[in-house]
């Protein structure tokens, strides 16, 4: 079974631009979560999508948004980029059944390294 894939792996943008990152979950997984990892703040939860609906959200400004498609692939978008948005963005997938015990194991992708200049 293929793992979680993220594209692109590396990205360089300038302040004020916007960016879209893509995540393809493991086949059959319906839940996709997004995380931001920085040296200062560590790994922080952004949001989670299940069946094309945002079901959980972290404490990030509205510039960070996401969506999920009917095939469970997910994208996240960051508008009006700031220098502080430079980070590794990770996505993770789970089967996402209603039973919360299915979330015991999240499968992470390799991440997208975003650099904002």
Partner 1 sequence: DAKTTQPNSMESNEEEPVHLPCNHSTISGTDYIHWYRQLPSQGPEYVIHGLTSNVNNRMASLAIAEDRKSSTLILHRATLRDAAVYYCILRDQAGGTSYGKLTFGQGTILTVHP
User: Cα–chain-centroid distance for residue 25?
Assistant: 11
Told to check if 103 binds partner 1 by CB under 8 A, we report yes
Residues 58, 65, 79, 95: which binds partner 1 (CB under 8 A)? 58
Told to check if 50 binds partner 1 by CB under 8 A, we report yes
Query: Applying CB under 8 A, what is the total number of residues that bind partner 1?
Result: 30
Q: Which is nearer to partner 1, 18 or 71 (CB)?
A: 71
For 18-65, the three-class secondary structure string (H helix, E strand, C coil) is CEEEEEECCCCCCEEEEEEEECCCEEEEEEEEECCEEEEECCCCCCEE
Q: Which is nearer to partner 1, 45 or 79 (CB)?
A: 45
CA dihedral 41, 85, 26, 99 (to 10 degrees): 50
Binding residues vs partner 1 (CB under 8 A) = 4, 31-33, 35, 42-45, 48-50, 55-56, 58, 90, 92, 94, 96, 100-101, 103-111
């Amino acid at each position: 079974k293929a793992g979680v894939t993220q594209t692109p792996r590396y990205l360089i943008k300038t302040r004020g631009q916007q960016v879209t990152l893509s995540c393809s979950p493991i086949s059959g997984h319906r839940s996709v979560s997004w995380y931001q990892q920085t040296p200062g703040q560590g790994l922080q939860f952004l949001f989670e999508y299940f069946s094309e609906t945002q079901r959980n959200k972290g404490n990030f400004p509205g510039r960070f948004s996401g969506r999920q498609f009917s095939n469970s692939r997910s994208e996240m978008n960051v508008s009006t980029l700031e220098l502080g948005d430079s980070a590794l963005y990770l996505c993770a997938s789970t089967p996402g059944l209603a039973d919360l015990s299915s979330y015991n194991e999240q499968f992470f992708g390799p991440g997208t390294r975003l650099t904002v200049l």
